[in-house]
Amino acid sequence: MTVHRSIPTSGSVTQEGSITGIFDKGRGALIVLEMVSKLDSGEKLFTNRAGIFARGEGGFGGDPGPSTRIHPPARAPDVRVETGTLPQQALLYRMASGDKNPLHADPAFAALGGFAKPILHGLCTYGIVCKVMVRRRPRG
C-alpha cells in the first residue's frame, strides 16, 4: 500500500482497479491487481497492490515474473516442531477474524481451488507458527 497524502477527516473516495500483471508460475498463475483510491478532487489517496495465486492455472508459457523464492539451506533443520490444530480451527478463526472467504469453510468451493478440503487462513497459520517460536525461544 502506498499512501499518497494525509487522510482527510471527511469527504468521498472513489476506487478504480486494474490487473497489472499475469505471470506464469508453472503450477499456478500470479494475478497482480492494483486499486487506486482517489478523492473527489481526483487527487490520489492510496494505491493498493495485491496478488492472487491461481492454483492449476500456470504452464501457459507466459512471463514468469519476479521471483521471491527463498531456497532452504542444504542441511538439516536446526529444530523441527509439530503442532496440531483443531478440525474446526478454520471456522473458529473465520468467526474471530470476520474473514468469510468460503475457501476456509466450504468443501465444494475449496475443491474449485484444487484443495481436497477447506484450508486454514494464512494469518492463522502465521499465528500458530509465532506461538510455537515464542514458546521455544531460548530463555536467558
Which CATH number covers residue 18? Answer: 3.10.129.10
Counting the structural domains of the chain, the total is 2
Is pLDDT above 70 for 140? Answer: no
Give dist(CA 20, CA 88) in Å, integer: 37
Task: Give the pLDDT confidence of 108-119 residue by residue, as tens digits.
Answer: 999 988 889 999
129: Cα separation from own chain's centroid: 16
Share of the chain above pLDDT 70, in %: 99
Q: At what angle do helices 89-97 and 122-136 cross, to 10 degrees?
A: 100
Asked if residue 67 is part of any domain, the answer here is no
Parent domain of 8: 2-55
Asked if residue 69 is part of any domain, the answer here is no
Q: Identify the band that residue 37 occupies on the pLDDT scale cut at 50, 70 and 90.
A: very high
Last residue of a domain, which of 32, 55, 78? 55
Asked if residue 97 is part of any domain, the answer here is yes
Q: Which three cell numbers stand for residue 70?
A: 527463498
Asked if residue 120 is part of any domain, the answer here is yes
Catalytic residue set: 99, 104
Asked if residue 80 is part of any domain, the answer here is no
Asked if residue 21 is part of any domain, the answer here is yes
Asked if residue 45 is part of any domain, the answer here is yes
Asked if residue 81 is part of any domain, the answer here is no
Average pLDDT over residues 49-54: 91
Task: Give the pLDDT confidence of 23-34 residue by residue, as tens digits.
Answer: 999 989 999 999
Give dist(CA 78, CA 133) in Å, integer: 12
**Residues sharing a CB contact under 8 Å with residue 51, sequence separation 6 or more, in sequence order:** 30, 31, 32, 33
Give CA torsion, residues 84, 89, 90, 96, to 10 deg: -130
Is pLDDT above 70 for 5? Answer: yes
Task: Give the pLDDT confidence of 96-137 residue by residue, as tens digits.
Answer: 888 889 999 999 999 988 889 999 998 899 999 999 888 888
